[in-house]
Chain A
């Protein structure tokens, strides 16, 4: 037993010593490597910046072309996200001349998922049209990080043709894309994608309809008002209905007042009612003020406070309504008083558009 203890003590002491030495060596190596890498990158960055501003002499150009591909690619990738216009064109053609784009496309199917991620990110920044199809294929990758990076890159590419693939990615078996990633990618593509997103509004699964409603609201797609109203009234998913209400508020068409007022009905879910309140406040109008003012007197504090906040954003008519309720000493008076005090302190409240989880 004594022998075991002695061996244990010796082994532990040796391990401790080794760990300490490893930590110190690591620190030392890290410091050296970081310093060297910084110096190399600084030199390379200077060359690259001069190259992009077409200010490079032949010697420097030779140096740039013969420099290590990994470091140059990494730096180019960082710069691609920052430069625009002619400088970007120069950088892209330089990378194409080195065969970097083909290499990246080949890497989209390589074994290591980090390599695939890096390739996807690179292709997104380079903005090459030929990258779209490989990136769309990556939306079905078995690794989540790869799918997310590919979706983000498709957003950077900005080609509306990739919208159906992005929307399908929301519901692709178990290999799903996060809602927010797809929405941000769609927002990067912009309003030119409204028509293709609109298709998802009509025929997609629940998550597709939800993201489509958000996107159309955020891009002010007034021509999709009818479809959004249809979702608001008839969709079986509460989440889709709430997002449609919010989208209609953002679009701001007076023609949607009636269906939105219909959503204020007590039989509807609290989330839908509060978002409809905010949407109606964004659209505005005398009829809307009186409808929402009634809600301030409700028992449910979520509805009362949401209604009071909504009314406070509706100009003099709203303020007048709040004044009356505040003086009435009714159930809604405390909410009206609070909102009036907030307005007096010039505090702008933006909470109403946020949906419940």
Chain B
């Protein structure tokens, strides 16, 4: 009798937990749905206005602000020269390129030296923002304007390399680009347009990131967009589309953008210096910088905008093997938690408007704590099934609702991509993307939740902060481009 009562109580608890899990999934996906809807409206508006946006004026204007493009590089021999060439051939009135070789042990520097005929110069690097790793040498390209390569000792943090680059940068706008990234020719002018349109308020802008795996590049430019060969990377194509392109467009439209990707973002140099540059102790340096900019601007009562521009595309290599992807996602999760942890005043603070009341709680509840709830939900579902606390039919319905809602959002993202940018123009790419939206829910999503949970645990344990190796394959050989 007692056992039956206990079992019944446990069954009720499990049922309750499952309902909590389902509600959580529904809430998360509904927020996504709202963000995607906002993003779709915004994209529609953007495309209608595009013919009159004045990119040509900005390219011709003598007052368009010049940009320092900063590339931190650690063991990036596979693609660093391509990336540098891509930056130098960007359509922009005036830019300089600063590459920081952050203690590479491969041929990163040698490849740059050979490609750009580097010459060492004596340079006193000012300490506008703090740095730790010592600068070994500064090099400039012979006969080429505005190419600087700095060799420094690595402390295992990309942020330190970026701070050195900020100290050397001479232009009023800073564009941060990952070493493996390739920008579209018009990416820089498009991502800096908000600075041209609203120069007094815009302090930072971010561009869209898309996976470059499967694409063909020639002389630092993507010549043919393709889908990756590996399913793990194909899933990430859809993921980037859903979360990074549409999610960020939505947050930007709501005036609550918390993350500008470290792979491609533009910042006003004076503001970055005022907030003290990148925090070397932060592993999620991109979110941390944006959070501190929000705080700084609000504290000083200065009207400001942080904008995500969905069109300028930065192509970056995504991991195709599980260990690398696992490290990356652990780092992202940990970085986000540390950012919220170190900026607690942002949370539920009406002073920060939508950011404080909506975006930060969302990131904490759904992005940081999400994996805890997701995994608990899966485990309780399995336990409940094993001990017959709920029947298979009911569990199947639970699971189906949660999963199908996620798939619906992914397909919706694909539909919006099809209507708007239409970058994956071959039929087989479309099929592959659709299949990816289905299969990501079976295995990938659960693994991803586990990796994010590991990231949260690492943050709580204050584990080692080093990035770990991120092997790069580079692009499909240029000979195949036909260019």
Q: Mark A17-42, 1 if CB is under 8 A from B, else 0.
A: 00110111011001000000000000
Q: Closest CB of chain B to A191's CB: distance in Å?
A: 15
Q: Closest CB of chain B to A19's CB: distance in Å?
A: 4
Q: Closest CB of chain B to A25's CB: distance in Å?
A: 10
C-alpha spacing A357/B394, complex, angstroms: 61
Kindly state whether residue A55 has any CB partner on chain B within 8 Å. Answer: no
Q: Mark B62-94, 1 if CB is under 8 A from A, else 0.
A: 111110000000000000000000000000001
B122 touches A337 (CB 8 A): yes
If A16-B411, A145-B52, A301-B124 touch, does A180 touch B404 (CB 8 Å cutoff)?
A: no
Contacts of A218 on B, CB cut-off 8 Å?
Answer: 62
Kindly state whether residue B142 has any CB partner on chain A within 8 Å. Answer: yes
A184 touches B52 (CB 8 A): no
- Selecting from B107-115, B284-292, B413-421, B464-472, the interface stretch reads B413-421
Contact of B61 among A6, A23, A180, A344 (CB under 8 A): A180
Kindly state whether residue B170 has any CB partner on chain A within 8 Å. Answer: yes
- Selecting from B208-216, B353-361, B395-403, the interface stretch reads B395-403
Kindly state whether residue A114 has any CB partner on chain B within 8 Å. Answer: yes
Q: Closest CB of chain B to A242's CB: distance in Å?
A: 12
Q: Mark A98-117, 1 if CB is under 8 A from B, else 0.
A: 00000000000000001001
- Selecting from A7-15, A88-96, A224-232, A282-290, the interface stretch reads A7-15
CB contacts under 8 Å to B, within A203-227, are 214, 218
A335 touches B124 (CB 8 A): yes
A357 touches B430 (CB 8 A): no
Contacts of B121 on A, CB cut-off 8 Å?
Answer: 338, 341-342, 345
Kindly state whether residue B144 has any CB partner on chain A within 8 Å. Answer: yes
Kindly state whether residue B145 has any CB partner on chain A within 8 Å. Answer: yes
CB contacts under 8 Å to A, within B42-56, are 48-49, 51-54
Q: Closest CB of chain A to B2's CB: distance in Å?
A: 28
A8 touches B415 (CB 8 A): no
Kindly state whether residue B443 has any CB partner on chain A within 8 Å. Answer: no
Contacts of B170 on A, CB cut-off 8 Å?
Answer: 351
C-alpha spacing A154/B427, complex, angstroms: 44
Q: Mark A109-147, 1 if CB is under 8 A from B, else 0.
A: 000001001100100000000000000000000001100
Nearest A residue to B173, CB-CB: A357
Contacts of B65 on A, CB cut-off 8 Å?
Answer: 354, 357
Contacts of B124 on A, CB cut-off 8 Å?
Answer: 301, 334-335, 338
B398 touches A24 (CB 8 A): no
If A13-B404, A19-B411, A350-B145 touch, does A148 touch B52 (CB 8 Å cutoff)?
A: yes
Contacts of A8 on B, CB cut-off 8 Å?
Answer: 401
Kindly state whether residue B301 has any CB partner on chain A within 8 Å. Answer: no
C-alpha spacing A355/B140, complex, angstroms: 24
Nearest A residue to B399, CB-CB: A9
C-alpha spacing A348/B96, complex, angstroms: 12
Q: In the complex, which range does the number of interface residues on chain B fall in?
A: 35 or more
Kindly state whether residue A190 has any CB partner on chain B within 8 Å. Answer: no
C-alpha spacing A342/B96, complex, angstroms: 15
If A184-B57, A351-B170 touch, does A23 touch B430 (CB 8 Å cutoff)?
A: yes
Contacts of A145 on B, CB cut-off 8 Å?
Answer: 49, 52-53
B49 touches A347 (CB 8 A): no
Q: Closest CB of chain B to A69's CB: distance in Å?
A: 18
C-alpha spacing A281/B362, complex, angstroms: 54
C-alpha spacing A23/B196, complex, angstroms: 36
Kindly state whether residue A319 has any CB partner on chain B within 8 Å. Answer: no
Contacts of A12 on B, CB cut-off 8 Å?
Answer: 400-401, 404-405, 407-408
B122 touches A341 (CB 8 A): yes
Kindly state whether residue B348 has any CB partner on chain A within 8 Å. Answer: no
Q: Closest CB of chain B to A125's CB: distance in Å?
A: 12
C-alpha spacing A22/B417, complex, angstroms: 12
If A2-B394, A342-B121, A345-B121 touch, does A181 touch B401 (CB 8 Å cutoff)?
A: no
B122 touches A121 (CB 8 A): no
CB contacts under 8 Å to A, within B104-159, are 119, 121-124, 126, 140-146
Contacts of A351 on B, CB cut-off 8 Å?
Answer: 66, 96, 170-171
B63 touches A347 (CB 8 A): no
Most B CB contacts (10 A, CB to CB) among A117, A334, A347 go to: A347
Contact of B199 among A15, A24, A349, A357 (CB under 8 A): A357
B143 touches A346 (CB 8 A): yes
Q: Mark B168-206, 1 if CB is under 8 A from A, else 0.
A: 001110000000000000000000000011110000000
Interface set of B (CB-CB < 8 Å, partner A): 48-49, 51-54, 57-58, 60-66, 94, 96, 119, 121-124, 126, 140-146, 170-172, 196-199, 268-270, 394, 397-398, 400-401, 404-405, 407-408, 411-412, 414-415, 418-419, 422, 427, 430, 434
7 tightest Cβ-Cβ pairs between the two chains A and B: A12-B404, A341-B121, A334-B124, A5-B397, A19-B411, A180-B61, A117-B52
